[in-house]
Amino acid sequence: MTTAYTVTLLQEAVADLRRLEDFAIERELASETPDWAAPQRALDAIREGMRLLSWSPTTCRRAELGNGRSRELVVPFGGAGYVVLFEVIGSDVVVGAVRHQREEDYRY
């Protein structure tokens, strides 16, 4: 029997998603050949990747730092991708951060 997990994003994770979207839009504004669909595709990739957390979060790798419950979901996108940092607490998955893999502080 598969356990269903409830996925909750902390305010910090929601702020990260907004920041990542803003950055993607700014990048396209600065480009000579903008791809206006890229910011939405990135958010869609993150959303699709996070679907895994509702049924199989323990398949994701353990985070290097943390309290033993912290895990990372890697979401491929383009030449890099995103990392979703979360904790599994019983049947709850709490997402605390979302970072681009090329960000200086993407590891926690």
- Tens digit of pLDDT for each residue in 58-87? 999 998 766 777 999 999 998 889 999 999
Angle between helices 11-30 and 38-50 (to 10 degrees): 150
Q: How confident is the model at residue 108 (pLDDT cuts 50, 70, 90)?
A: very low
pLDDT of residue 53 exceeding 70: yes
- Tens digit of pLDDT for each residue in 6-39? 999 999 999 999 999 998 899 899 999 999 999 9
In a domain, 29, yes or no: yes
Domain CATH for 18: 3.30.2310.20
In a domain, 108, yes or no: no
In a domain, 106, yes or no: no
Range of the domain at 73: 6-100
In a domain, 32, yes or no: yes
DSSP string, 38-54: HHHHHHHHHHHHHGGGG
Q: Total domain count for the chain?
A: 1
pTM reported for the whole predicted model: 0.87
pLDDT of residue 46: 96
In a domain, 39, yes or no: yes
